Chains A and B, each alone.
Chain A
Amino acid sequence: MAPTPVEAGLLVVILGSALATAVLRDVLGSIIAFSAYSLGVAMLWVVLRAPDVGLTEAAVGAGVMTILLLLTIAKTVRPSEDRVLASFDPKTLVLVAAFVLALGATVPALPAVGSPDAPVVSSEVSQYYLDHAYKDTGVENVVTAVLAAYRGFDTLGEAVVVFTAGVAVVAVLKREVTA
């Protein structure tokens, strides 16, 4: 499945800004490149017809992360050297190369998007939920039914994690304002 020109262009933007985030010496430059990366990924999600994920990516990746990272580096010292690019530890490069190799071997082995042979389509588990979700829970959207009813406790745990993170952020922001 070859990518369309739009997808290919987006992938170049994403890869380029991800590399820029990694190699820029100045952390502020890295944060700026990271927000460009986040916008690219968000666009790709929208092109792949997952607009809700794209919206979350833009709000969290480009919006909240940028502000949190700025708050973090506000308390740190900026390196005074003039070099634009960072230097890398060879060990790190080997580790990253191994990770890329592992991913490169794994991803092509996955079933293609929308493939009729994919386990999620052919499995009887999916069929069970499609048949029983409305009768069991009364929720019309099957994804919502699974998320909020069948695995409700798990979702409650996730909500607690998000709430805790929110409280922590508010606490840090308060301290920033008063200090």
Chain B
Amino acid sequence: MTSPWVSDVLLAAAGAFILYAVVLLYRVVAGPTMQDRVIAVNVVGTNTVVVLALLSVALEETSFLDIALVYALLNFLMSIAISKFTVERGGVI
């Protein structure tokens, strides 16, 4: 059981991580290179996993943890796909 105080702190932490994702969007738009963007989106994805884990404890929904795991896998796949694509354009996948 999570006490209300702890769950408030966890929710605030989740809010702070989301704020961080907003800041990262600047890097997605500004670039300047494609690698900057890929890494920015990768960090947004990692952020998603952290936010989901925090929410899962704060709201006492253990099923959120499964979703966090799936996101972690997808995030990895996405970054690999984009990186490989930029390295040898067209010759991959």
Chain A residues close to B by CB (< 8 Å): 4-6, 9-10, 12-13, 16-17, 20, 23-24, 26, 28-29, 31-33, 35-36, 39-40, 42-43, 46-47, 49, 51, 54-55, 58-59, 62-63, 66-67, 70-71, 74-75, 84, 173, 176
Contact = CB atoms under 8 A, between A and B. Distances in A.
A42 B21 CA distance: 14
Nearest to B38: A32
A35 B18 contact: no
B81 A51 contact: no
A136 to B, nearest CB: 29
A57 B29 CA distance: 22
Contact of B25 (A28, A36, A55, A75): A36
A5 B25 CA distance: 18
Nearest to A84: B31
Interface of B is mostly: helix
A129 B30 CA distance: 52
B81 A67 contact: yes
Interface residues of B, number: 44
B90 interface: yes
Interface in B35-71: 37-38, 40-41, 44-45, 48, 51-52, 55, 61, 63-64, 67, 70-71
Contact of A28 (B14, B34, B48): B34
Contacts of A5: 11-12, 15
Contact of B78 (A4, A40, A62): A62
B39 to A, nearest CB: 10
Given A13-B21, A66-B82, A58 B28 contact: no
Interface of B: 11-12, 14-15, 18-19, 21-22, 24-25, 28-32, 34, 37-38, 40-41, 44-45, 48, 51-52, 55, 61, 63-64, 67, 70-71, 74-75, 77-78, 81-82, 85-86, 89-90, 92-93
Contacts of B45: 35, 39, 62
B90 A75 contact: yes
Nearest to B15: A5
A119 B90 CA distance: 51
Given A33-B37, A35-B78, A74-B90, A9 B15 contact: yes
A46 B22 contact: no
B85 A9 contact: no
Contact of B28 (A33, A70, A74, A75): A33
